[in-house]
Amino acid sequence: MGHRDYFHLVATKSSTKNTPPGFARHGLTDEQLVAILRTMLMHRRLETRGFELNRQGKIPFASAGEGHEAVQAGAAMAFVRGKDILVPYYRDLGLDLGVGLRPVEVLLSLFGRADDHSGGRQFPHHYASKQLGIYTISSVLAAQLPHAVGAAFAMKYRNERDRAVLTTVGDGATSEGEWHESMNFAAVHKLPIVFLCENNEWAISTPLDKQMANPNIWQRAAGYGMPGVVVDGFDPIACYAATKDAMDRARSGGGPTLIEAKCYRFLAHTTDDDDRTYRSREEVETRRKDDPVPKFERLLVEAGILSAEGLEALKRSVLAEANEATDQAEAMPYPLPEALYEGVYADDFQPWR
Amino acid sequence: MAKTETKAKSLDRHGLTDEQLRAIFRNMLLQRQLDNRGFQLNRQGKVPFALGSEGHEALQAGAAMAFERGKDILAPYYRDLGLAIGIGLTPYEIMLSLFARAADHNGGRQFPNHYSSKHAGLMSFSSILAAHIPHAVGAAYAMKYRGEGGRAVLVTCGDGTTSEGEWHESMNFAAIHKLPLVMLVENNGWAISTPIEHQMAQPEIWKRAAGYGMPGKRFNGLDPIETYATVNEALQRARSGGGPTIVEGTCFRFLAHSTDDNDLTYRTKEMVLEQRKHDPVPAFEQTLLDAGVMSAADIEAMRKDVLRETNDATDKAEAMPYPQASDLYTHLYEGAWQPWQ
């Protein structure tokens, strides 16, 4: 079911006029606003599910994007399906959902099942979908950026207008040499690409002040000769607007943009990390007060875009879909041992034989 | 000639004495002479390779004057002849490197123009662009870690190297840890055959410093005094705990990249001749003449002295023996351990 179908189930009315003062929707319709909220709710639901399944011993690993819901759902709304390419990093569940990945596809990845797009061979949360334009990625920080830049270079080289690449990293990956080389190359060749940095202030256990001396990553853009933008990563509409503006510029030949979305990571880095060893509960609880998910729920209810009942219905539909996806994926078979060599070489060539 | 102030007219000398100004000029003359000698010896078939730094003389001689011998560390790149001699390397040592003789500091094993001197504080380096910058940052980190105040690392690179990931990683790390480091970029506008506009979209490298949270400054690298003043200020800040700086000197590369490059395949002779009008060597000669720091006769005598020293160094180095084949395995493992035996 696409976001259009849900809209008619839960929205109070189909209007773009019904907004309280001070609420800038940047051209987003009620339908799109509800779709953004649904992506955020599904994002959080599937994150929680990943941790639950890991603690139940059913899946080996999950990473967590709680606190990134707004930036990812907002940015995904600026992605044009069927045209743009997404090169995400490992904490981008919301972006993947936002560009069209279905919860069952997410669960197939987490369960490592044969029907997963990577045949159950990729790391959990490393989604890929040729159909949706989502690149498969490496866990190695910043390794995806030269690939993203290569895709953008191909678009320019082939003169494919009205297309752009959206690529993301966390704050830690900006310290990698590949980040620098990618930014510079994209700027030199004016490539159709948007670099979205989701700055959650923690690179696993490394806090921002040990990662960089100037915490404003967007300010590096000027050095490369491209626009740099900073945006509140807890505000999905602001994130949409900044990404839309940058993607439109990229698609029309205006070159790359660096966007820094300031957000926070509420959970540990992954199911294999205990963040109590390096940051206080007080810090996390303080930041939870700005949790973007309930904040955006309130905004849509107060704006009259969603009723209280509509919101409840939306949450129930998200839970139902997450449950169905879990059951469906869990029931699927693992890859067979004899499939190990498939997709490695073309045809029957097996040099190890 | 021993006085420190002369009838200098409109010469902003930034505290440099007459003696220091003459030393800078002598370095520039020597640099050019040795560069030419390298190319001559290569064309004569006597040395395998040489790199020219013509156009960088002012920048390197000025920067070297800000270096404190016996305290600071220099991590240069391969086009830094003037910096090497400016901090104390002798022409004879340069020639030993070019001729790859056994008495060279690296035993004749390094690439020509890749000098090193433990005594002078000059780190040995790789030809791989930017590979030496993490090493330089490591040296600066060691200074901070050991609490060695009053010392700093001067590290250099060309404009092309700033596109390398190691450059970025090094700048970021140095800024985070407020290391005593000065990143001197010698921007001559050419990375071998790649012009600056194909190297970066925004040609002012110093502007990247703000992104890292450190000061950045651009200066005219054809002016040795301005170079000295800029590098000196940055080194002093580094030595006193003020952290790193990116300083960018603009200059020209008058010669081909190296003796193995023909620059006329990617730029015209006219472009170079146009740049030659801004040659820093005759320009600084005129400055010193105008300021009365040197007379025409002084300059003539200095030229003769530089040529004589270059000739002596050439003859002496050429007469030295090559490394012995039997020395091939020395300095690889400690003691007599030879795992391949």
Note the pLDDT tens digit of each residue in A132-182.
999 999 899 999 999 999 999 999 999 998 999 999 999 999 999 999 999
Asked if B202 is an interface residue toward chain A (Cβ–Cβ < 8 A), one would say yes
Over residues B301-310, the mean pLDDT reads 98
Asked if B211 is an interface residue toward chain A (Cβ–Cβ < 8 A), one would say yes
DSSP A20: -
Q: How sure is the predictor about A20, in pLDDT bands with cuts at 50, 70 and 90?
A: low
The residue type at B74: L
Among B175, B178, B201, select the one facing A224 at the smallest CB separation.
B201
Over residues A21-49, the mean pLDDT reads 93
Share of chain A above pLDDT 70, in %: 94
Share of chain A above pLDDT 90, in %: 86
Q: How sure is the predictor about B326, in pLDDT bands with cuts at 50, 70 and 90?
A: confident
β-bridge partners, A169: A197
Q: Are B95 and B318 in contact, with CB atoms under 8 Å apart?
A: yes
H/E element holding A323? helix A308-330
SS (H, E, C) B65-113: HCCCCCCCEEECCCCCHHHHHHCCCCHHHHHHHHHCCCCCCCCCCCCCC
- pLDDT at A4 > cutoff 90: no
pLDDT at residue B5, as a whole number = 52
Tokens of A223: 């050095």
Interface contacts A/B by beta carbons within 8 Å: 83
- pLDDT at A308 > cutoff 90: yes
Q: Are A211 and A197 in contact, with CB atoms under 8 Å apart?
A: no
Residue partners of B160: CB distance under 8 A and separation at least 6: B129, B190, B191, B192, B194, B199
Q: Cα angle at A326 between A325 and A327, to 5 degrees? A: 95
pLDDT at residue A22, as a whole number = 59
Per the structure, the complete domain to which residue B142 belongs is given by 22-259+266-321
Among B165, B202, B213, select the one facing A224 at the smallest CB separation.
B202
Q: How far is B156 from chain A (nearest CA, A)?
A: 18
Does residue B335 belong to any structural domain of this protein? Answer: no
Asked if B198 is an interface residue toward chain A (Cβ–Cβ < 8 A), one would say yes
Q: A160 or A6: which carries more pLDDT confidence?
A: A160
Taking only the tens place, the pLDDT of each residue in B114-148 is 999 999 999 999 999 999 999 999 999 999 999 99
Q: Are A8 and A24 in contact, with CB atoms under 8 Å apart?
A: no
Per annotation, catalytic residue among B218, B266, B278, B303: B266
Over residues A301-329, the mean pLDDT reads 97
Q: How sure is the predictor about B2, in pLDDT bands with cuts at 50, 70 and 90?
A: very low
First to last CA, chain A: 46
Does residue B63 belong to any structural domain of this protein? Answer: yes
Share of chain B above pLDDT 90, in %: 90
Is residue B278 part of the annotated active site? The answer reads no
Over residues A49-76, the mean pLDDT reads 96
Does residue B271 belong to any structural domain of this protein? Answer: yes
Taking only the tens place, the pLDDT of each residue in A21-33 is 557 999 999 999 9
C-alpha to C-alpha distance for A49 and A110, rounded to whole angstroms = 10
Asked if A153 is an interface residue toward chain B (Cβ–Cβ < 8 A), one would say no
Please give the full DSSP string across B43-72, using - where no structure is assigned: HTTSSS--B--TT-HHHHHHHHHTS-TTT-
- pLDDT at A79 > cutoff 80: yes
Q: How sure is the predictor about B340, in pLDDT bands with cuts at 50, 70 and 90?
A: confident
pLDDT at residue A21, as a whole number = 54
pLDDT at residue A343, as a whole number = 83
Asked if B194 is an interface residue toward chain A (Cβ–Cβ < 8 A), one would say no
CB contacts, 8 Å: A180 with chain B: 163, 165, 167-169
* SS3 at position B177: coil
Owner of token pair 């930041």: A287
Asked if A225 is an interface residue toward chain B (Cβ–Cβ < 8 A), one would say yes
CATH of domain A68-102+128-307: 3.40.50.970
Over residues B53-61, the mean pLDDT reads 97
Distances (CA, A) of A15 to A27, A36, A273, B272: 12, 16, 45, 66
Does residue B73 belong to any structural domain of this protein? Answer: yes
Minimum mean pLDDT among A186-195, B214-223, B305-314, B318-327: which range? B318-327
CB contacts, 8 Å: B199 with chain A: 188
Best probe of the A interface among B129, B159, B162, B168, by most A CBs < 10 A, is: B168
Report the residue of chain B nearest A208, measured CA to CA: B176
Over residues A296-301, the mean pLDDT reads 97
Asked if B163 is an interface residue toward chain A (Cβ–Cβ < 8 A), one would say yes
**B211:A220 CB<8 A:** yes
Domain at B34, CATH number: 3.40.50.970
Over residues A318-343, the mean pLDDT reads 94
Give me the number of domains chain B comprises.
1
Q: Which of A227, A80, A228, A229 is nearest to A164 (CA)?
A: A80
Does residue B302 belong to any structural domain of this protein? Answer: yes
- pLDDT at A332 > cutoff 50: yes
pTM (whole model) above 0.90: yes
Q: How sure is the predictor about B46, in pLDDT bands with cuts at 50, 70 and 90?
A: very high
Among B198, B205, B212, select the one facing A213 at the smallest CB separation.
B212
Please, what's the b/e burial string for A143-159 (b: 16 or more CB within 10 A of its CB; e: otherwise)?
ebbbbbbbbbbebbeee
Within chain B, strands assigned E span: 73-75, 153-158, 181-187, 190-191, 194-195, 216-220, 245-250
C-alpha to C-alpha distance for A137 and A123, rounded to whole angstroms = 9
**A225:B201 CB<8 A:** yes
- pLDDT at A2 > cutoff 50: no
Taking only the tens place, the pLDDT of each residue in A196-206 is 999 999 999 99
Among B167, B199, B214, select the one facing A213 at the smallest CB separation.
B214
Share of chain B above pLDDT 70, in %: 97
First to last CA, chain B: 62
pLDDT at residue B308, as a whole number = 98
**A188:B167 CB<8 A:** no
Does residue B8 belong to any structural domain of this protein? Answer: no
The residue type at A35: A
**B213:A213 CB<8 A:** yes
Within A200-342, strands assigned E span: 202-203, 206-207, 228-232, 257-262
- Which of B69-73, B330-334, B336-340 holds the top average pLDDT? B69-73
Report the residue of chain A nearest B164, measured CA to CA: A181
Does residue B11 belong to any structural domain of this protein? Answer: no
Over residues A102-109, the mean pLDDT reads 97
- pLDDT at A9 > cutoff 70: no
User: What integer best gives the mean pLDDT of chain A?
Assistant: 93
CB contacts, 8 Å: A182 with chain B: none
Among A175, A181, A190, select the one facing B163 at the smallest CB separation.
A181
Over residues A209-232, the mean pLDDT reads 98
pLDDT at residue B337, as a whole number = 83
* SS3 at position A260: strand
C-alpha to C-alpha distance for A66 and A40, rounded to whole angstroms = 9
Q: How sure is the predictor about B9, in pLDDT bands with cuts at 50, 70 and 90?
A: low
* SS3 at position A92: coil
